[in-house]
Amino acid sequence: MCLGLYSVYRTADDDRTKYFSTITNPTTGQPLHGDGGGIEIWRVELTDTGPQANTAPPVPALPQIGPQPAPVDDVFGPWFITGNSSGVWGPVGGNTEQIDTPEVRQQCAAAMPDDAAARTAMSTGFHAAPPPHGDAIPGWPAESK
């Protein structure tokens, strides 16, 4: 899962008219985590087996797209999350694999709605307003289908 944290803003504690990215140092206006491009990468695994799957509502028959930014109803059906991580994947103290590889980072950067220059501009410095939110893509229907 690719998260564009560069465009998530907050206000300064001492000046509610000054906005900056949540990945920006509130004192210097510089990105906190170097050259990650404001993108965080997560691995999330799901399963449709287990006790939760037996009580789930049926999966919608039609693709769930529309103008809403969030779903109205349960969109997972019998699926539930079994694990997630933004660093490494595997057992504690055992063999692990890196989640954030150059290939995955390149795929995530290509999937972002903003190019690298825009991401840098949004995640650097202080701004008079947060960035405008784009349309929900693919979005969610106003009602379950």
Q: What is the pLDDT of residue 10?
A: 95
- Whole-structure pTM value: 0.75
Termini Cα distance of the chain? 26
What does the alpha-carbon distance between residue 9 and residue 141 come to, in Å, rounded to a whole number? 26
What pLDDT digit, counting tens, does each position of 8-61 carry?
999 999 999 999 999 999 999 999 877 678 999 999 999 888 776 666 666 667
Q: Average model confidence (pLDDT) for the chain?
A: 86
Which pair of tokens denotes residue 111?
């999937």
List CB contacts of 77: < 8 A, sequence separation 6 or more: 48, 56, 57, 58, 59, 60
List CB contacts of 84: < 8 A, sequence separation 6 or more: 42, 43, 44, 45
